[in-house]
């Protein structure tokens, strides 16, 4: 029994080390200067250039046009992540509300059509999506980044399942209490869905934050670059005697990791609650 | 305050299934009516139609002198208590009580007055700031009642409100509901499948079966004069003993087997005889008896419940089961022969074709 206990821990520790090692390498490398990284490769030790690298990354304008700082990219990523997550939650909640609570013709057909779009991820429909956004003149704008992505079959599905588990009596009690559809949604359904909203928020925020392909297509103006995208830009600069600032790229990677990690840590208890139980 | 009138109310679901097949009930102002019947008899559907949660296929429901067929639940001036309480889990008890009033645009002070008054009556004043999750089943039940009371409605509708409580609490809440209803004098319609609950609460019982009214009457009236074999077997615990009997000239006997001796002027050729377990008394010497009915039973099991014992015994070749309610102290040997008799006025006869009650001379009882 005791021995099994130790083995269990060993396995878990090994797993944890395996997962965290690349992050440590990235962080350690980011504390060295560009030259030593270029000469010696990735680093496992503390290099002492922490504040230099990070302040340079955040405040100095980089990229091809030298117009965008790390802060701007952080802000862009934040807008994309939040807009993406919040937009998806609003749209999918409303869609699920319609599907679950209103009798309209072909309701379940509509649901399955929405559900079937899971088979068509962004990568599959990227050309037509691009065409439309371009045709609407939404290139290089936040709405162009966010709006085309906020329809969510996953979110609609989760909210539908959740709404279906809300007892009918609650709806009936609310009807007798004189709450119409909008009142019921705002006063009762939204507060009840709190944990579910938190869970979806985490998933969608991280998903939105890590978007790469879509921002690459939609934004050509560097002031709209996101962190995930900007990272690559740093390594692309090969002008004259410049060497790639690998340390800065690593620093950006570390920075890019932080907000999702914070979101997950803050919301994790809600996350589990939202997916496994409901407050009823 | 108002009465409720149901006239020839029908409910047919989209698939063609008829849940309620023409029910007419006149409920007087302040009356406590209990709808009772087995699951699937349409009692809940009927209640939900009064509440406005189900559309009425045919017929008319009026509350007071207003026909409410097309009126939204919120505007019918009724309050409903649900089986699972249906409290809003994210709101405090206070807000649960106040929500319906807020939606009606009642002034804050008035809401506060009503909520505190209801909380005082129901003894939940200490829990007003708690969420339902932090309350016990009995307390939740009180909050659900409170939500109905603050509305000061024309009628209360109860949909099996006690069935989620444990047995002891159920008995306690039952009495409280009755007291409360009498104190407030609000017309009430109460649905249950528990015949004991129905008997104890009701001013008048409505026994439903298969979407139709079997009998309407005071609990005692329904108990003593059941209108059909269905009512006879549904109301009362243990249930009424029912046995098929046939006549050969003047001699009545069991349709299958013997062990029954009955003198009756019933004119039918066959009938169903109904006997309440407590109306059977044990006799030592049948020759001296004036009672028209004597049964020879063989004891098969005894259920002592303290004050009394339920003696399960068999009658005739087919092993017709008969239950006799005997004093608790008496001892019975399984396998022994037991003679029981019943008085004339305690015999119930039902038509063997329709199951409807017959008078002792074989006429169909006037409904």
pLDDT of residue B345: 85
For the beta carbon of residue B123, count every other beta carbon within 10 angstroms. Answer: 11
SS3 B336: coil
As a whole number of angstroms, the distance between CA A51 and CA A271 comes to 34
pLDDT of residue B363: 56
Domain spanning B238-358: which CATH class is it, in words? mainly beta
For the beta carbon of residue A30, count every other beta carbon within 10 angstroms. Answer: 25
A63 pLDDT band, cuts 50/70/90, is: low
Interface contact flag, B51 A172, Cβ < 8 Å = yes
pLDDT of residue A277: 58
Mean pLDDT computed over A29-43: 85
B344, B339, B360: which is closest to B287 by C-alpha?
Answer: B339
pLDDT of residue B81: 94
Strand partners, B81: B158
pLDDT of residue B226: 93
Three-point CA angle A252, A256, A260, nearest 5°: 165
pLDDT of residue B1: 63
Average pLDDT, chain A: 86
As a whole number of angstroms, the distance between CA B146 and CA B272 comes to 47
Q: Cα separations (Å) of B240 from A74, A120, B275?
A: 80, 66, 6
pLDDT of residue B367: 45
> Residues of A with CB below 8 A from B114's CB?
none
For residue A278, give the chain B residue with the closest CA.
Answer: B89
Q: Which residues of A67-85 are buried (b: 16+ CB within 10 A; e: fewer)?
A: ebbbebbbebbbbbbbbbb
pLDDT of residue A248: 84
> Residues of A with CB below 8 A from B49's CB?
none
Q: Is the pLDDT of residue A84 over 90?
A: yes
Task: Say if residues B153 and B79 touch (Cβ distance below 8 Å).
Answer: yes
For an interface test with A, the pick among B86, B87, B97, B106 (most A C-beta atoms closer than 10 Å) comes out as: B86
Q: Which domains does chain A have, with CATH numbers?
A: 64-276 (1.10.3720.10)
Where does residue B354 rank: exposed (0-12), middle (13-18), buried (19+ CB within 10 A)? exposed
Mean pLDDT computed over A195-222: 89
Of A54-63, A102-111, B48-57, which range is least confident?
A: A54-63
CA A169 to chain B, closest CA, distance in angstroms equals: 5
CA B322 to chain A, closest CA, distance in angstroms equals: 42
pLDDT of residue A62: 67
Task: Say if residues B80 and A176 touch (Cβ distance below 8 Å).
Answer: yes
For residue A279, give the chain B residue with the closest CA.
Answer: B89
The whole-model pTM stands at 0.82
pLDDT of residue A136: 92
Q: Is the pLDDT of residue A280 over 50?
A: no
> Residues of B with CB below 8 A from A190's CB?
none
CATH architecture of the domain with residue range B4-226: 3-Layer(aba) Sandwich (3.40)
Give the residue with greater pLDDT, B269 vs A162. A162
Q: Which two tokens stand for residue B323?
A: 């239950």
Q: Touching check for B133 and chain A: CB below 8 Å? A: yes
pLDDT of residue B189: 96
For an interface test with B, the pick among A173, A183, A186 (most B C-beta atoms closer than 10 Å) comes out as: A173
Nearest beta carbon to residue B80 from set A176, A187, A188? A176
pLDDT of residue B211: 92
As a whole number of angstroms, the distance between CA B355 and CA B362 comes to 13
pLDDT of residue B268: 82
Strand partners, B261: B294
Which residue has 């139709």 as its token pair? Answer: B212
Nearest beta carbon to residue B89 from set A176, A183, A280? A280
> Would you write out chain B's pLDDT as a tens digit for each of its 367 residues?
689 999 999 999 988 889 999 999 999 999 999 999 999 899 999 999 999 999 999 999 999 989 999 999 999 999 999 999 999 999 999 999 999 999 999 999 999 999 999 999 999 999 999 999 999 988 999 999 999 999 999 999 999 999 888 889 999 999 999 999 999 999 999 999 999 999 999 999 999 999 999 999 999 999 999 999 999 999 988 899 998 888 887 778 887 777 788 887 787 888 899 999 999 988 887 777 777 888 888 899 999 988 899 999 998 777 788 999 998 888 888 888 888 988 888 889 999 888 898 876 555 555 4
CA B282 to chain A, closest CA, distance in angstroms equals: 51
Interface contact flag, B86 A172, Cβ < 8 Å = yes
Longest dimension (CA), chain A: 76
> Residues of A with CB below 8 A from B89's CB?
192, 279-280
pLDDT of residue A44: 85
Q: Which two tokens stand for residue B133?
A: 């999750």
Cβ contacts of B99 within 8 Å, gap of 6 or more: A177, A179, A187, B88, B91, B147
DSSP for chain A reads -HHHHHHHHHHHHHHHHHHHHHHHHHHHHHTS-HHHHHHH-S--S--S-HHHHHHHHHHS-BTTTT-B-HHHHHHHHHHHHHHHHHHHHHHHHHHHHHHHH---TTHHHHHHHHHHGGGS-TTTTHHHHHHHHHHTT-TTSHHHHHGGG---HHHHHHHHHHHHHS-HHHHHHHHHTT--HHHIIIIIIHHHTHHHHHHHHHHHHHHHHT--HHHHHH--SGGG--HHHHHHHHHT---TT----HHHHHHHHHHHHHHHHHHHHHHHHHHHHHHH----
For residue A176, give the chain B residue with the closest CA.
Answer: B74
Interface contact flag, A170 B53, Cβ < 8 Å = no
Q: Is the pLDDT of residue A20 over 70?
A: yes
A65 pLDDT band, cuts 50/70/90, is: low
Nearest beta carbon to residue B74 from set A169, A178, A187? A178
Domains of chain B, residue spans: 4-226, 238-358
Mean pLDDT computed over A230-235: 75
As a whole number of angstroms, the distance between CA A134 and CA B259 comes to 96
Q: Is the pLDDT of residue A155 over 70?
A: yes
Give the residue with greater pLDDT, A232 vs B133. B133
Q: Which residues of B267-283 are buried (b: 16+ CB within 10 A; e: fewer)?
A: ebeebbbbbbbebbeeb
As a whole number of angstroms, the distance between CA A205 and CA A81 comes to 5
Three-point CA angle A166, A94, A219, nearest 5°: 135
CA B68 to chain A, closest CA, distance in angstroms equals: 14
């Amino acid at each position: 029994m005791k021995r099994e206990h130790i083995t269990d821990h060993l396995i878990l520790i090994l797993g944890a080390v395996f997962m965290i090692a690349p992050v440590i390498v990235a962080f350690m490398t980011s504390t060295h200067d560009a030259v030593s990284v270029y000469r010696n490769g990735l680093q496992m030790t503390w290099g002492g250039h922490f504040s230099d690298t990070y302040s340079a990354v955040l405040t100095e304008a980089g990229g091809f046009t030298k117009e965008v700082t790390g802060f701007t990219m952080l802000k862009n990523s934040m807008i994309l992540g939040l807009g993406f997550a919040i937009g998806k939650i609003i749209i999918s909640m409303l869609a699920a509300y319609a599907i679950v609570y209103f009798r309209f013709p072909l309701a379940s057909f509509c649901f399955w059509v929405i559900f079937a779009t899971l088979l068509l991820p962004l990568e599959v429909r990227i050309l037509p999506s691009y065409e439309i956004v371009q045709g609407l003149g939404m290139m290089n704008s936040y709405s162009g980044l966010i709006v085309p992505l906020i329809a969510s079959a996953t979110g609609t599905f989760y909210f539908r399942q959740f709404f279906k588990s809300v007892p009918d009596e609650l709806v009936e009690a609310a009807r007798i209490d004189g709450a119409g559809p909008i009142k019921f949604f705002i006063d009762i359904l939204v507060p009840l869905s709190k944990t579910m909203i938190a869970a979806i928020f985490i998933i969608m925020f991280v998903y939105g934050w890590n978007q790469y392909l879509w921002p690459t297509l939609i934004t050509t103006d560097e002031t709209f670059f996101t962190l995930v995208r900007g990272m690559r830009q740093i390594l692309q600069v090969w002008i004259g005697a410049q060497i790639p600032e690998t340390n800065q790229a690593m620093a950006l990677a570390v920075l890019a990791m932080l907000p999702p990690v914070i979101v997950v840590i803050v919301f994790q208890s809600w996350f589990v609650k939202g997916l496994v139980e409901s407050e009823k | 305050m108002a009465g409720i009138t149901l006239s020839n109310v029908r409910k047919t679901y989209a698939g063609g299934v008829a849940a309620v097949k023409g029910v007419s009930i006149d409920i007087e102002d302040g009356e406590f009516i209990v709808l009772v019947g087995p699951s699937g008899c349409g009692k809940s559907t009927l209640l939900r139609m009064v509440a406005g949660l189900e559309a009425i296929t045919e017929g008319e429901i009026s509350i007071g002198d207003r026909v409410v067929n097309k009126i939204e639940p919120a505007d019918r001036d009724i309050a409903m208590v649900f089986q699972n309480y249906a409290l809003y889990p994210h709101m405090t008890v206070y807000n649960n009580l106040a929500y319906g009033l807020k939606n009606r645009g009642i002034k804050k002070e008035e809401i506060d007055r009503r909520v505190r008054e209801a909380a005082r009556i129901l003894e939940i004043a200490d829990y007003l700031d708690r969420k339902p999750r932090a309350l016990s089943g009995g307390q939740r039940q009180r909050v659900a009642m409170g939500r109905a009371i603050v509305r000061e409605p024309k009628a209360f509708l109860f949909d099996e409100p006690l069935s989620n409580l444990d047995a002891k609490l159920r008995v306690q809440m039952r009495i409280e509901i009755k007291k409360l209803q009498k104190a407030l004098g609000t017309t009430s319609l109460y649905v249950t499948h528990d015949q004991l609950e129905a008997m104890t609460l009701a001013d008048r019982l409505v026994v439903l079966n298969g979407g139709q009214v079997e009998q309407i009457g005071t609990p005692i009236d329904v108990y003593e004069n059941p209108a059909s074999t269905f009512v006879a077997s549904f109301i009362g615990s243990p249930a009424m003993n029912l046995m098929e009997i046939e006549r050969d000239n003047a001699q009545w006997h069991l349709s299958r087997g013997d062990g029954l001796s009955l003198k009756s002027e019933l004119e039918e050729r066959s009938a169903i005889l109904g006997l309440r377990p407590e109306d059977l008394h044990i006799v030592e010497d049948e020759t001296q008896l004036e009672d028209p009915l004597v049964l020879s039973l063989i004891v098969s099991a005894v259920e002592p419940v303290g004050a009394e014992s339920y003696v399960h015994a068999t009658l005739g070749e087919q092993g017709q089961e008969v239950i006799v309610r005997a004093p608790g102290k008496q001892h019975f040997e399984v396998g022994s022969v037991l003679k029981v008799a019943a008085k004339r006025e305690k015999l119930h006869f039902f038509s063997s074709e329709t199951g409807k009650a017959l008078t002792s001379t074989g006429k169909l009882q006037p409904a």
